[in-house]
Amino acid sequence: MGNLLEVNNLSISFTQYVQGLNRHDSKVISDLTIDVNESEIVAVLGSSGSGKSLLAHSILGILPYNSHVTGELKYKGKVLDQQLKEELRGKEICLIPQSVNFLDPLMKVSEQAIGECKDENEHNQKQIRQREIFSKYGLDESVDGLYPFELSGGMARKVLLSTALIEDPNLLIADEPTPGLDAKSVEETINDIKNLKDHGKGVLLITHEIDVALKTADRIAIFYSGYVIEINNVENFKNSDNVLHPYTKALIDALPRNGFKLTEGVQPLGEVTGCPYWENCPIRLDKCENNIPELVEHDGVMIRCFNFEGGK
């Protein structure tokens, strides 16, 4: 199993002008480290609106111009710079976008799945492949000529998924593939994504739905206030004993099947000087207030907490 994607210490911030000419850098993703292997699904789980999608955008090189990125991205051991991103995107790395809004409203869906072609020949070849993939997902020929606004939610999902598979990529980035879908479609989407894994592909699943992450992923990275605070194997998420971070524990305990224990407190919105969970943490130490813990390995689990540093 090779390492498909490595993200090392990725930080993304935006330059904004507040109150006239005062520049302000607002950090959305801080020091994010994660990796995806072949035949593996890694979920990034975090609340909606927390900037998870920017991770996907930075891997594909489509961040807006006022963003500032530090850290390192690697694809198959090679550093992913903008040039390599532009080369690989759409071919080896594909995005499965969130919603039907990501389809051109005035283009027939089959043409969108086929995408840009150099000549007639390439177009014909891709059209055959598009038809294959559409039928695989139960989209018959009448769907080919439809426009995005004519699709149902479930059909749109399948079309979006198909767009990513035309080129047979190695790495797929699924950005919130499930919101707004009924239970059956969610189930189908989960199966579709798992199916990709069985074909040797790596999937980075970005979601805020904990159930989807639990049912789909092999490993789950918990995204909290811009930081990844824990990356753990999915089987450890069955109950709160096997996860390490106090926030993850609280999250698991809050699930209905685990007793619905709710914890007070919200994620800090602004920048913090110390551990982002310090304010709400039941096991905080003195140094947590003003020092940010590193993401370290502890018994095969990646954890960002001072309680687990230094081999404790």
Q: How far is the CB of 210 from another protein (least distance, A)?
A: 25
Nearer to another protein, 89 or 197 (CB): 89
Q: How far is the CB of 61 from another protein (least distance, A)?
A: 8
Phi-psi region of 49 (alpha: psi -120 to 50; beta: other; left: phi over 0): left
How many Å is the Cα radius of gyration of the chain?
Answer: 21
Cβ(209)–Cβ(178) below 8 Å: yes
Please tell me whether residue 90 binds another protein under the rule CB under 8 A: yes
Place of tokens 């990844």: 228
Nearer to another protein, 71 or 90 (CB): 90
Q: Which of 67, 74, 102, 187 binds another protein (CB under 8 A)?
A: 102
The H-or-E segment that residue 174 falls in is: strand 171-175
Q: Which of 107, 180, 258, 283 binds another protein (CB under 8 A)?
A: 107
Q: Which of 32, 36, 103, 221 binds another protein (CB under 8 A)?
A: 103
Helix residue ranges per DSSP H, the chain: 52-60, 82-88, 109-114, 120-136, 141-144, 153-165, 183-198, 210-216, 246-253
Query: How is residue 52 written in tokens?
Result: 């998870």
Cβ(229)–Cβ(304) below 8 Å: yes
Please tell me whether residue 14 binds another protein under the rule CB under 8 A: no
Only segment of 66-74, 83-91, 227-235, 238-246 that touches another protein (CB under 8 A): 83-91
Residue type, 180: G
Neighbours of 237 (CB within 10 A): 22
Give the strand pairing for 219-224 and 41-46: parallel
**Residues in 137-166 at the binding interface with another protein, rule: CB under 8 A:** 147, 149, 163
Please tell me whether residue 84 binds another protein under the rule CB under 8 A: no
Only segment of 16-24, 105-113, 134-142, 294-302 that touches another protein (CB under 8 A): 105-113
Only segment of 11-19, 40-48, 102-110, 226-234 that touches another protein (CB under 8 A): 102-110
Residues that bind another protein (CB under 8 A): 57, 60, 62, 86-91, 94-95, 97-99, 101-107, 115-116, 147, 149, 163
